[in-house]
Chain A
């Protein structure tokens, strides 16, 4: 890991700390020192490095030590050097500031064995779970699966609609999807909506009206699945 900014090294150190299969070999704030040590050391799996550094630039350093590392990932504040980076076969380009999620995703793309455990895990045999409600000072509230009408994605948060309330909590829609897929009642009908099929009141053209009045547009890529479900459930007369 090479970066002339101390906080960037600290940041990546803590990210690496979350991934048990990853071991940090060395960090450098001086690119010249990095060139000497990596150049004469053993091969490594990944090198992370900044681009804009004094003395030797990241691009020059990377060209010199590219053969010593399997993967090369640039971590930099701006994308000015993206073209040069790919010229020297960089594998990825992380723009600061980046999240742990993006970091982990990038690593697992190259080394699937490091895949992390799902951060949200609950006992599935229960018929309820607890989440922290952002609107109530992050207190834990109980939600019964049977009561969920829909789950709406809002960037890194979701809003869970129940007949009595709507709870906002810091979980991503992809995380809740993993949990809800154990329950056949739930289906995704839009990029940002997972609904409980039980709670559909009406289907009007391209929209679903839920039992609490919530109106949801059906996403293009989810149309087929929704239509298949609806036609399976529709009673038709056999009279002509």
Chain B
């Protein structure tokens, strides 16, 4: 339901839009009027003339909206204490005005129609009591309507605030992203890396080599075409070599793992970030310190299937950054792209090895 105050200009626009905006009001009132008049007619066994309904319901409905939209706003404005006298006073004035207007309308109807059928115009205590009852009855309804309205307005406000907060966060994320992008602006990034490389080349060949491998990985990350479904396996193999090299450099080449593949497999196309994720997992969760039992990564082709197998000793210090989500993600992506054509199994073997076996169609 909408607040009448906010939509007053709309009244000028067109009757249709008003009817549409307040359709629930119209429907409710229609149902209410039918309900009241039908039940009244059952009790008194007669219908009042139509003009009566029109006149008095116009009065009642006007009172309803005046109370909800103006009187209550006025009364509830001040302090809590002032309400103690404002509310009874307002109701008293309303009842008085209502009774007066009702009597006036009765008089007009009496004067200009012959509905009274010869009876004299009189003001009985029954009529007065009826007017007061009707007035309080509609004030009650109207107050209920007012609070429901307030509730929806409050709700909308909270929703708006929530949305603004969300917008704020999105804006923040956007600017953080822009900042990040500026940092990895390729020209800036690689010129800086080149600068470090040139300076480190003679004084610290190991540092220089590390920068080269890092640049390779960064170039791959920056250059990756977003949203492309397939990538050349060779590119990913290069990144795996870079990744292994970075780890080996940092650990003085004391990590034991072998990466087996044949040159001719490089041209195969597969969905990206499968191989890299598996190798990253080995570094995260594997024990690569045993020379006699190195981790193995192998890519082979058999029977028109590319098969990627990895095998590593499980680290004795479990990495808290779970493995499950990465594997679940690979599984989802494989079945999304290759459906039943791919197989992906992984698990613990002999209580100390982690093995992964994956097969997807070759081209």
A residues apposed to B, CB below 8 Å: 5, 7-8, 10-11, 14, 52, 77-80, 95-97, 99, 134-135, 152, 154-157, 159, 166, 168, 170, 190-192, 213, 217, 219-221
Contacts and interface: CB of A to CB of B under 8 A. Distances in A.
A80 B199 contact: no
A10 B248 CA distance: 29
A166 B195 CA distance: 35
Contacts of B194: 5, 7-8, 11, 77, 96-97
A61 B320 CA distance: 54
B264 interface: yes
Interface string B176-219: 00000000001101110111011101100100010111010001
B222 interface: yes
A217 B298 contact: yes
B212 A99 contact: yes
B118 interface: no
A95 B292 CA distance: 39
Contacts, number: 89
Given A155-B213, A156-B245, 17 more contacts: A8-B198, A77-B187, A78-B190, A95-B219, A97-B198, A135-B252, A135-B254, A154-B253, A155-B248, A156-B209, A157-B253, A159-B253, A191-B261, A191-B262, A219-B263, A221-B262, A221-B264
A11 B222 contact: no
B223 interface: yes
A7 B199 contact: yes
Interface residues of B, number: 39
5 contacts: A8-B191, A52-B187, A97-B212, A170-B205, A190-B260
Contacts of B260: 190, 217
Identify which of B241, B244, B253 gathers the most chain A CB atoms within 10 Å of its CB.
B253
Contacts of A14: 201-202
A205 to B, nearest CB: 12
B291 interface: yes
B262 A220 contact: yes
B190 A97 contact: yes
A218 to B, nearest CB: 10
B241 A155 contact: yes
A181 B193 CA distance: 37
Nearest to B213: A155
Interface in B240-266: 241, 244-245, 248, 252-254, 258-264
A122 B199 CA distance: 30
A221 B248 contact: no
A7 B245 contact: no
Identify which of B201, B222, B223, B264 gathers the most chain A CB atoms within 10 Å of its CB.
B201
B231 to A, nearest CB: 16
Nearest to B260: A217
Nearest to B292: A213
Nearest to A165: B291
Given A78-B222, A154-B248, A191-B263, A96 B190 contact: yes
Contacts of B213: 155
A77 B213 CA distance: 15
A77 B191 contact: yes
A157 B206 CA distance: 11
Nearest to B265: A220
Q: Which 4 A-B pairs have the closest CB atoms?
A: A77-B190, A97-B197, A78-B186, A96-B194
Interface in B259-316: 259-264, 291-292, 298
A155 B222 contact: no
B306 to A, nearest CB: 14
Contacts of A5: 191, 194-195
Contacts of A77: 186-187, 189-191, 194
Nearest to B261: A191
B143 to A, nearest CB: 69
Identify which of B197, B202, B254 gathers the most chain A CB atoms within 10 Å of its CB.
B197
A97 B298 contact: no
Contacts of A134: 252-253
A7 B223 contact: no
A187 B287 CA distance: 31
